Structure 1
Amino acid sequence: MDIKEYIVIAIAINAGKTILGIYNSDVDLKLDQSPLTLADRKSHYIIKNKISQTKLPILSKEGRKVSYQHRRIWSKYWLVDPLDGTKEFIKKNGEFTVNIALIENSKPVMGVVYSPVLDILYVGAEELSAFRIKQASELLKYLTLINDWRNYAESLPLLSTINIFRIVVSRSHLTKETLEFINSIRDQHSEIELISKGSSLKLCLIAEGYADIYPRFAPTMEWDTATGHAIINATEGKVCQADENNKESLLNPKFIAGAFNVDEKRINNHGR
């Protein structure tokens, strides 16, 4: 891990702690969504101000008004979702994250996902592999050396002995097309389990190896998926039917993500 990864880890955790302070307020978010806006903006500014020391451009969901003519020349930049899972934030189910990805030559090469409520950090990079760290905010208080993080990390993917074929689906955006897809593959598996999850935690379950595939046919944006995509790549998993990043339209195509132990041809055959 180099200094860049360490900086991003600290930034993601600190942004998440700020979000958590707002999230834990007594406001009923279903009636008053101003705390959501505040949390999103505060997280954005923390990330923007701290990550600027890397001297790389930043494309953030909260500050996304960067013209394609301007960003099309970027060969390397940060892609940020300061609060992924706004519906989960409002529902107060805890399934929201801070997402920071490094994009190089239109590919996600590093991803950091931090879950403030779970206090779990996911990191993945081409030269780094992937890992998960629990109690991340506590460790941030004591770890001063970059490589110390690896001493507290669990390497991904985790080994699983469960023979059930697990499909992770969106908790808030489960579409008819996704359900039809699931029904179309039921006869290929002796047993299927659906796991509902919000935000980029769905992609993290694929990186863990806890779930086998994640079909996503509802709209997503690049900042929703780039971090998880990078982490999955670092586990030798795959994301099929995914376009390159930094397109003129930041809307993603439909895709299916698969864990390390799922054959790529099998994923492609499952696709539309």
Structure 2
Amino acid sequence: MRYSSLLPDVIRIADEASEKVLHIYQSEFKVHFKEDNSPITAADLAANDIIVQGLRRVARDIPIVSEESAEAPWEERKHWRRFWLVDPIDGTKDFTQRTGEFTINIAMIEDGEPVMGVVIAPALKEAYWGVKGEGAYKRDRTGKARHIRVAELRDSLRVVASKNHLNEDTRAFIAKLGSHETVQAGSSLKFCRIAEGHADIYPRMGPTCEWDTAAAHAVLAAAGGKVQTLEGEPLKYGKENVLNPWFIAAGSWYL
């Protein structure tokens, strides 16, 4: 399958969801909580509807896994070689706190690997996308798109960290890196900051789900970076348990 042929449609779908999400973001919205006590808003559900319906029109035969949709049973999912993996809004806490650092994420997974990804930050008016073997791009707030690439080897690391999930295990890992600069970013933008060369490494010693990371993982990989478990294995998708193991995302020179 030529993923680049689907990319314009996927970007268009993400842009449509972004417009709806931004409208809600700029209004008085209510915050509800799911069974796991994670927040959810009307924006999550509206974006999910737009994305799922859009992807079905573009490629009806490719199944969809989304954080905000009923999950297909493992007995069905384990036979999928290829599927969409969607997080309608990653960083709902950033959304509710109005930091602007939340994203819309759409990925294509094939044989456990994210081969195409689109990440849009509606409030920042930034967009990222990447396709395996074809490079990664960033569209800025002026609408101009440019090719992006991870940074080259540096003497001092720039470590990107979560503002909401910086736990003691992550602090201990960062401390072992020695001299470094900390770059703050929310949601899947942490991967994107590495992809565009503004940071070098993102260690995550805490829970994430596959839909939290897949799209930005694809962008980072297309930009020359890698995402690995602490055991040095590639971060895989399409598992029975959708929780990710702890991982490190970085420029390829580090991993």
TM-score with structure 1 setting the length? 0.83
The whole-number CA distance in structure 2 between the counterparts of 1:162 and 1:126 is: 25
The whole-number CA distance in structure 2 between the counterparts of 1:40 and 1:86 is 8
Cα distance, 1:158 vs structure 2: 6.3
State whether structure 2 residue 49 is matched by structure 1 residue 45.
yes
Which of 57, 63, 73 in structure 2 is aligned with 1:57?
Answer: 63
* Unpaired stretches in structure 1, ≥5 consecutive residues: 140-151, 265-272
Count of residue pairs the alignment pairs up: 241
Looking at secondary structure, tell me which structure has more helix per residue: 1
Matches within 5 A, 1:86-97: 86-97=92-103
Which of 180, 184, 189 aligns to 1:196? It is 184
2:241 matches 1:249: yes
- Which of 131, 145, 151 aligns to 1:125? It is 131
Query: Where does residue 238 of structure 1 map in the other structure?
Result: 226
Identity %: 41
* TM-superposition CA deviations, 1:36-60 (whole Å, max 9, x none): 5211000000001111021211000
- Alignment equivalent of 2:31, drawn from 30, 33, 37: 33
Is the alpha carbon distance of 1:64 and 1:244 closer, same or farther for their aligned partners in structure 2, counting shifts above 3 Å?
Answer: farther
Aligned mates of 1:162, 1:240 — CA distance in 2:
20
Q: Which residue is 1:179 aligned to? A: 171
Secondary structure (helix, strand or coil) at the match of 1:95 reads coil
Q: Which residue of 2 aligns with 1:6?
A: 8
- Distance across 2 between alignment mates of 1:164 and 1:243: 26
Q: After alignment, is 4-13 or 154-163 more displaced?
A: 154-163
What is aligned with 1:115? Answer: 121
In structure 2, the partner of 1:270 is none
Secondary structure of the corresponding residue to residue 215 of structure 1 = strand
Q: How much does 1:135 deviate?
A: 2.9
Q: Given residue 100 of structure 1, which amino acid in structure 2 is its aligned partner?
A: I
C-alpha displacement at 1:160, in angstroms? 7.6
Quick one: which amino acid aligns to residue 241 of structure 2?
Answer: S
Q: 1:183/1:58 Cα in 2 relative to 1: closer, same or farther (>3 Å)?
A: same
CA shift for structure 1 position 118: 1.1
Hey, what's the Cα distance between the residues in 2 that align with 1:258 and 1:212? 6
- Counterpart residue type for residue 56 of structure 2: S
Distance 1:228 1:66, change over 3 A: same
Moved more, 92-101 or 34-43: 34-43
- Secondary structure at 1:63 match in 2: coil
**Partner of residue 220 from structure 1, selected from 205, 208, 213:** 208
Inter-partner Cα distance in structure 2 for 1:158 and 1:214: 13
Provide Cα deviations, 1:24-73, integer angstroms capped at 9, x if missing partner: 0145xxxx415952110000000011110212110000004211111111
Q: Which runs of 5+ in 2 are unaligned?
A: 33-38
Letter in 2 for 1:155: H
In the alignment, residue 248 of structure 1 is paired with which amino acid? E
Per the TM alignment, residue 184 of structure 1 is displaced from its structure 2 partner at its CA by: 1.6
Q: In 1, Cα distance between the equivalents of 2:20 and 2:5? A: 23
Aligned equivalent of 2:148: 156
Provide the rounded CA distance (Å) in 2 between the counterparts of 1:36 and 1:16.
16
State the shift of 1:128 in Å: 2.1
Q: TM-score, normalised by structure 2?
A: 0.89
